[in-house]
Structure 1
Amino acid sequence: MNWDCLIVDDEVELAKATCEYFEMFGVTAAYVTDYNDCLSFVKTNGVKLILLDINLGNDSGFELCRELRTKTDVPILFISARQSDDDVLIALNIGGDDYIKKPYSLSVLLAKVKVIIKRYDALALKGGVSDDGVSQLKDENCCKNLRIDGDAMKVYVDEKDAGFKTKEFKLFQYLYENKNRVISKDELFANIWGDAFFSDGTLNVHIRKIREKIEENPNKPKYIKTIWGTGYMFETSED
């Protein structure tokens, strides 16, 4: 069966109430309460979005996210009562797409969910886009020491795999395809994450991780330049 949203939360009453609220507004939703049930659900059902709590009884939402990222690229939004910046950074670094702090407004959460699902559906229908929403870019040398392989979703630095995660690859690819043009943060959010609800921290973390993988000195980037107050630009003029 295909679902719009899967909620992974050991607070059963909250998960159930959130599902019921979503269903009232046409968003099909299911919930599970632990690590193993989530993996089983994803294995046998289609899901467009996962809402994931960090604390899952004896299980860790962080570990579950890491495992999910080996199997699927669907958006993962962390929902947690944990408020520290360290938790937010961990969540984003391991493959989470955003971090929503409890208690949250159901109406605001629904708005986020509906926009992401709308974007997911649009990508699925868009010509020239693969099933996971990544446009197909041929294997090519994009700079003197960088090579991008769209089919394999890999970036090579001096012919060594840089180890990009899927979201990092999508972001790198979009920047490269629009090279030497200033791209606003809103444009990146709209085309990579599907809406403008995500925080700047989400984008900044992903940019930092990409720089660490491709730049000789990430603190003085040669390729991905920050355009203060606007966004970023992939610059190739030096090659």
Structure 2
Amino acid sequence: MLSVPLTFVAVFAGSALAQTSLFIPGFDPQPISADILGVDGQGRTTWALHQGAVTNSAQEGSFPGTGKSNNLVGPLATLVEGANDVSFTYVPPNNAFTLGQQCSLSGGLAICSATISGQVVTETETANPILVQVGTTAPLSTATGTAAASTATGTPSRASESRVSATGPAQTSERTSSAASPTKTSNKGNTLVPLISGLFISAASVAFVLQL
């Protein structure tokens, strides 16, 4: 099983930014700041994700799901990462929907699913950790990972499948699929998820509501 390094922190020469490697489902390398919120009883670390400092002119500075708002309390995006599983939760400032994603890690691959209004989509991607900037570190506490992942309503139905959940406007249609169904394999960032009536958009499409 894939073991993603969580505790290694390196400080690059000439830079005051500490960095660590995290696997964030669907994301390419980009400026990201991660704050430790705590570690649960099973050793999963919960991170609050935010827009990171741009250190290279070629880098883009629009990380979806991480903006801060004066009208909001707490992180808009959280990542709960263990040795064999990862969950990602995102809520836009306007609370239009909640995206909760859970992935199982096996053989260097991440098998992730998304459920929105009864529609389940499963996608497989290479589980490549990316460097993130380590921000402030909150006092470690127990069970914070479970709380942060509570918006992901699905639970793994088998060892090779995990669920992702996202809720939006209620719909009456319902379709389901499982890991046995054909999956899309991609190494590209911004995993596609269905939002409304089968419409697929990338995670970057919601970035505009986060630049507050």
| TM-score (norm. length: structure 2) | 0.29
Q: Give the number of the structure with larger relative contact order, counting CA–CA contacts within 8 Å between residues 6 or more apart.
A: 2
- Structure (1 or 2) with the greater strand fraction: 2
- Structure (1 or 2) with the greater helix fraction: 1
Which of 1 and 2 has greater Rg?
Answer: 1
